[in-house]
């Protein structure tokens, strides 16, 4: 019985030591994946912080679009991931609406107190300041011109 308890203790200790590295690896991998998808979407949807894209006529305004991050970000790596998640969400929504541009793009951040629930019975709940990221803009159809990747990007 003591051997089983010792093995369980060693496994939990090793997992506790490996957790920060696994978490960092997951954040990096998710950020890389989102970057690739965002690059693909930006070939289909131009983004601009202005209310028009220079050299292209706005044909139709489709309505507001927003994109939100899913994770509460508490450090720089998590903030980077949260920003990518928000942009990815915004571009997917714009494509779903049939837009080929997002105009008036702006980023919004919101900080709040976040309490991480107890993961194990022996560890207390942790409270930290977290940041949520969001992008908002107006989905639009603009006249065909140069491809979106050749235009000056105002956001993202």
Rounded distance between C-alpha atoms, residue 112 and residue 110, angstroms: 7
Residue 118 has a pLDDT of 60
Residue 141 has a pLDDT of 94
Q: Which domains does the chain have, with CATH numbers?
A: 2-146 (3.30.110.70)
Contacts for 134 with CB less than 8 Å, ≥ 6 apart: 66, 67, 68, 69, 86, 107, 108, 109, 110
Which residue is associated with the tokens 């990007």? 153
The pTM (predicted TM-score) of the whole model is 0.70
pLDDT tens readout for residues 117-131: 665 556 666 677 778
Average pLDDT in the chain: 81
């Amino acid at each position: 019985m003591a051997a089983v308890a010792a093995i369980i203790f060693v496994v939990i200790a090793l997992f506790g030591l490996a957790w920060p590295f696994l978490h960092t690896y997951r954040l990096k991998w998710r950020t890389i994946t989102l970057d690739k998808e965002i690059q693909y979407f930006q070939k289909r949807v131009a983004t601009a912080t202005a209310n028009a894209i220079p050299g292209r006529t706005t044909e139709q305004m489709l309505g507001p679009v927003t994109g939100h991050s899913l994770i509460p970000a508490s450090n720089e790596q998590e903030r980077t991931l949260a920003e990518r998640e928000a942009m990815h969400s915004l571009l997917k929504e714009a494509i779903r609406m049939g837009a080929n541009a997002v105009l008036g793009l702006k980023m919004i951040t919101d900080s709040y107190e976040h309490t991480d629930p107890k993961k194990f019975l022996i560890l207390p709940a942790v409270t930290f300041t977290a940041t949520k990221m969001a992008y908002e803009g107006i989905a639009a159809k603009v006249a065909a011109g140069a491809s979106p990747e050749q235009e000056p990007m105002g956001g993202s």
